[in-house]
Chain A
Amino acid sequence: MAYTTDANKKFQKELNSGTAALVLLSILARADKPMYGYRIAKLMEVDEKNVPMMKQGALYPVLRSLESSGLLESHVDPSISGPPRRYYKITETGLEALKNWVTIWDQTKDFVDDILKGKNDV
C-alpha cells in the first residue's frame, strides 16, 4: 500500500513537472490583466475540480522558471492589505511557446489515449 501511494505520488510529480508550465502559460494567456500567484492558484483550484494537480506552493518556482526563460514577465506592486505582490504577464515569446506546446500536448494526449484504449493492438 505504502509503495502504491509513493509510486502514485512520484508519477503525479513527474507528470506535473511539464504540465504545470503549460497550464500556467495557458491561464496567463487567457487573463486580461497581470495576475499574482495566489489568484492563479485559486483559479486552478476551481478548474482542477476534485483532483489537486499540484501543491499551490509548487507553482511559484514554475512561475519563476518561466520568467527566467523569458516566457513571462513580472512586476512588484504594493498591496493595501498585505505584503507587496508580484504580478505575472505572458510575453510574446510565451504566447508563441504556448501555441507550440499545445500542439505537442495534443499529440502526446492522442498517442497516450490510443495506447491506453488499445486502438493499435498488435
Chain B
Amino acid sequence: MFKNVRDYLEKLKKELQGCDPALIQDALSDAEGHLRTAIDEAISKNPDQSETEVLGPIIEKYGIPSEIASAYRSIETHITPALAVSTRPDKRSFWGKFFGVLAESRAWGAFFYMLLAFIPGIIFGGWALFAGLISAFSLLFIIGLPIFGLFLLSLRGIALLEGRIIEALLGVRMPRRPLFLKKGLSWSDRYIALVKDKYSWRALLYAVLLFPLGFIYSGLFSLLFVFSLGFITSPVLELVFRVPLDLFGDNIFTPVWFLPIVSVAGLLLLPLTLHLAKLAGKIHGRFAKSMFVRK
C-alpha cells in the first residue's frame, strides 16, 4: 500500500489539509520519527527484508493516514496555545474594549515579548551575525565545511526555541517538533540538503532581522510604558516628590491645572500601548510563522 515512509507522509499531509501548518509539521515529524525507528528495528531483526516489506505491518499498528489525521484533529480542538485568541464574538462597547485590554493576558504577553525582544535579538541575532561570519570565513579552508553545517543546524534549534517563545507569549501556534532531513542520505548528501533547504536560510534571515527588530520593539514599548506611567503619576511626582516631568523644557514644572489632563492622557496611553503591543505581536507572529513553518 505504501512504498516508503515518504509515501506515507505525503498521504498523511493530504489528510491533514486545512489544519494549522504547525500541527501538520508536528504530525509529520511524529510519524516520521516513529516509522523510521520501527523500520530500523524490523530490518535489524530481519536484514533480508526491504523497507517496503516491513512497512506494511508497521503501518497496520501505527494507523493509516486517515485514522492518524482524525486523531490529531480531534485532540487539537482541545489544545490551544497558552494565550490563544478567543473565538467568541466580542460584544463589549468601544470603551469596554479599549480599557478591557488591561485584563487581557494575551495583550500583556505580547507587551512583555515586545519589551524584552532585545534579549533574543542580541542572543539570536548576535549568534547569526558573528557565528555566521566566522563560519562563512572558515569556508575558505576545508575545516570550514563542518563548522558551517553545524552553524546551519544551530539556526534550526534557534528557530524552534523562538517558536516556543512566540507561541507562549503571542498565542500564535508554532511548530513543536524539529525539522528532519531525509534519512538514508550520505553525510555529503545530508550536508547539501541542509544547505539547499530554504528553511535553514529563512531561520538565518529571521535571526539577523531579530537583531534590529528586537531593539526597535524594546525601545518603542519601554518608552511608551515609561511615558504612560509617568503621565499617570505626574500629580504625585510633581506635587509630592517635586520631580518635574520636563514636558515644557528642562526642570520646568507642569502647571497644576494641566496635571489632571496629563494624568488622563497617561491613563489613555497605557491601554493604547497594550493595543499596539497586541497588533505588533500579531504581525510579528505571522511573520515568524511564515519563516519557520513548511507550507
| Chain A contacts for B29, CB-based, 8 A | 83
A68 within 8 A of B: yes
Q: In the bound complex, what is the Cα–Cα distance between A82 and B75 (angstroms)?
A: 27
B76 within 8 A of A: yes
A65 within 8 A of B: yes
For the A-B complex, the count of residue pairs with Cβ-Cβ distances under 8 Å equals: 79
B86 within 8 A of A: no
Least CB separation from A81: chain B residue: B40
Within 8 A of B (CB), among A31-58: 36-38, 41, 45, 52, 55-58
Main secondary structure of the interface of B (DSSP, over half): helix
Q: In the bound complex, what is the Cα–Cα distance between A12 and B34 (angstroms)?
A: 23
Q: What per-residue 1/0 map shows which CB atoms of B17-43 lie under 8 Å from chain A? A: 000000000110111111011101000
The answer to whether A58 and B67 touch across the interface, beta carbons within 8 angstroms, is yes
Q: In the bound complex, what is the Cα–Cα distance between A84 and B178 (angstroms)?
A: 8
The answer to whether A57 and B79 touch across the interface, beta carbons within 8 angstroms, is no
Known: A52-B61, A68-B79. A57 touches B30 (CB 8 A): yes
The answer to whether B71 and A82 touch across the interface, beta carbons within 8 angstroms, is no
| Chain A contacts for B176, CB-based, 8 A | 64
Known: A64-B176, A65-B79. A55 touches B30 (CB 8 A): no
A60 within 8 A of B: yes
The answer to whether A85 and B26 touch across the interface, beta carbons within 8 angstroms, is no
Q: In the bound complex, what is the Cα–Cα distance between A55 and B74 (angstroms)?
A: 14
B63 within 8 A of A: yes
B187 within 8 A of A: no
| Chain A contacts for B62, CB-based, 8 A | 55-57
Q: In the bound complex, what is the Cα–Cα distance between A78 and B72 (angstroms)?
A: 24
Q: Which of B27, B33, B63, B75 is close to A85, meaning CB atoms less than 8 Å apart?
A: B33
The answer to whether B67 and A38 touch across the interface, beta carbons within 8 angstroms, is no
- Closest beta carbon of chain B to A71's beta carbon, Å: 12
A95 within 8 A of B: no
The answer to whether B178 and A76 touch across the interface, beta carbons within 8 angstroms, is yes
The answer to whether A64 and B26 touch across the interface, beta carbons within 8 angstroms, is yes
Q: In the bound complex, what is the Cα–Cα distance between A52 and B32 (angstroms)?
A: 22
The answer to whether B32 and A60 touch across the interface, beta carbons within 8 angstroms, is no
Q: In the bound complex, what is the Cα–Cα distance between A82 and B32 (angstroms)?
A: 10
Q: Which of A52, A60, A65 is close to B78, meaning CB atoms less than 8 Å apart?
A: A65
The answer to whether B76 and A41 touch across the interface, beta carbons within 8 angstroms, is no
The answer to whether B33 and A83 touch across the interface, beta carbons within 8 angstroms, is yes
6 contacts between A and B (CB under 8 A): A56-B34, A57-B67, A60-B30, A61-B71, A61-B76, A64-B79
**Residues of A participating in the B interface, judged by any CB pair closer than 8 Å:** 17, 36-38, 41, 45, 52, 55-58, 60-62, 64-65, 68, 76, 81-86
A57-B31, A57-B67 given; 18 more Cβ-contact pairs under 8 Å: A37-B33, A38-B37, A55-B67, A56-B62, A56-B63, A57-B30, A58-B63, A60-B30, A60-B31, A62-B75, A64-B26, A64-B176, A65-B75, A76-B160, A82-B36, A82-B40, A83-B36, A86-B33
